[in-house]
């Protein structure tokens, strides 16, 4: 039976001892990353013509590193192999000119994590056994019962919560029944997707949550500024006892409250996109969409926020893997001139301002909704491309 890889995320509820050990593991993974990166930089500085130390070479250095720093033995040993793999991949992307130079990781980062490949298993309905941590309380584990866990990631996010992300191997989902329908989708701002049959799917909207997140962002910024001033004044006047920014809980609480509202928005957006993409995959056999470069479009500062809120990239990603899972077909085409061509006669009317939402073809007299016309052209181009 065919297998597919899926990601499952669970909430973790560590006790105080386990939480302390988790932070030690976060620090150890960060320490190994920084040590290997510093070694690579120093090696290049001393001899620019030397060969880069590959992943195998970095793994060979782990044993003497553990002898020099015994606290590294408190971590799952496979987590360091993952760190070396990620660093080697980062350098490969750099050499291919597809990424920047890797950066050192900071202990002050609000998001911490480590990834391991060791065996972890479910031992109860709300208990899972992790390497070095032992039995730890989680949310419901019924979704992963009997599945093979390939790797795991423990993370701490800005909301102050711990999560366990699992990569599991599951049987491939059942192929959905064929409907014989095809559709072209034009993505937009006011409407997330407009189909060639005239259906418009609204963009996700959470105005109240966004307002709350903005207010708490302002509170967090003001409280942090006051805390920074207080820390500077105290440290200037007291030479023996020094304060740190983390000693001021007022801005820490505002930061956490802001992060929780932002996470609520992200979770609801993802839920909306999952429901919409599943509906489309069930309804149509062939889906044609535009191959938009979202990162380039976000250079327009007037539209960057609404484009990010629409989550075009995530929408496309979900369609891609769901079509692959359920036996449907996704076709991507170049978006050139799709909103300028009459879908009835093929007349090219030229570019139009975004304010024009409807227009009439001067050649055949057909009246078009701009977005629906573009979706029909997208469908035609996609079907023509695949014959």
The Cα 82–Cα 342 span in angstroms is 53
DSSP code, position 342:
-
User: Would you state the structure tokens that stand for residue 168, as one six-digit string?
Assistant: 């599991």
Measuring CA to CA, which residue among 222, 219, 203 is closest to residue 211?
Answer: 219
Exposure class string for 62-79: b at 16+ Cβ within 10 A, else e:
beebbeeeeebeebbebb
Which residues, at least 6 apart from 275, have a Cβ–Cβ distance to it below 8 Å? none
Measuring CA to CA, which residue among 295, 379, 372 is closest to residue 331?
Answer: 379
User: Would you state the structure tokens that stand for residue 9, as one six-digit string?
Assistant: 């995320």
Measuring CA to CA, which residue among 91, 84, 80 is closest to residue 29?
Answer: 80
Q: Which residue has the tokens 């191959």?
A: 291
94: Cα separation from own chain's centroid: 21
The Cα 262–Cα 266 span in angstroms is 6
| Cα 86 to Cα 195, 238, 242, 328, distances in angstroms | 40, 43, 37, 33
- Give catalytic residue positions: 186, 290, 371
């Amino acid at each position: 039976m065919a297998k597919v890889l899926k990601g499952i995320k669970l909430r973790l509820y560590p006790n105080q001892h386990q939480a302390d050990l988790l932070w030690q593991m976060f620090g150890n993974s960060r320490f190994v990353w920084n040590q290997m990166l510093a070694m690579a930089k120093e090696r290049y500085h001393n001899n620019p013509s030397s060969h880069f130390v590959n992943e195998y070479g970095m793994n060979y250095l782990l044993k003497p590193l553990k002898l020099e720093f015994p606290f590294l033995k408190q971590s799952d040993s496979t987590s360091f192999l993952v760190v070396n793999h990620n660093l080697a991949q980062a350098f490969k992307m750099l050499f291919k000119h597809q990424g920047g130079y890797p950066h050192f990781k900071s202990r002050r980062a609000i998001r911490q994590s480590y990834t391991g490949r060791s065996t972890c298993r479910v031992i109860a309905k709300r208990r899972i056994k992790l390497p070095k941590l032992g039995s730890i309380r989680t949310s419901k584990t019924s979704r992963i019962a009997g599945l093979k866990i390939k790797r795991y990631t423990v993370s701490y996010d800005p909301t102050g919560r711990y999560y366990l992300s699992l990569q599991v191997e599951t049987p491939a989902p059942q192929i959905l029944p064929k409907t014989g329908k095809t559709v072209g989708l034009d993505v937009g701002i006011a409407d997330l997707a407009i189909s060639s049959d005239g259906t418009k799917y609204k963009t996700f909207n959470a105005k109240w949550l966004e307002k709350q997140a903005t207010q708490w962002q302002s509170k967090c910024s003001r409280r942090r500024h006051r805390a920074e001033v207080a820390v500077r004044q105290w440290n200037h006047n007291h030479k023996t006892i020094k304060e740190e920014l983390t000693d001021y809980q007022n801005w820490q609480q505002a930061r956490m409250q802001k992060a929780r509202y932002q996470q609520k928005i992200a979770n609801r957006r993802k839920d909306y996109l999952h429901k919409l993409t599943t509906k489309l995959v069930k309804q149509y056999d062939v889906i044609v969409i535009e191959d938009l470069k979202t990162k380039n479009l976000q250079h327009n500062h007037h539209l960057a926020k609404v484009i990010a809120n629409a989550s075009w990239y995530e929408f496309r990603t979900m369609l891609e893997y769901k079509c692959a899972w359920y036996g449907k077909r996704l076709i991507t085409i170049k978006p050139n001139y799709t909103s300028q061509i009459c879908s009835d006669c093929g007349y090219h009317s030229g570019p139009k301002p975004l304010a024009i939402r409807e227009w009439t073809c001067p050649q055949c007299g057909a009246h078009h909704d701009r977005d629906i016309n573009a979706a029909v052209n997208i469908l035609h181009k996609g079907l023509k491309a695949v014959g």
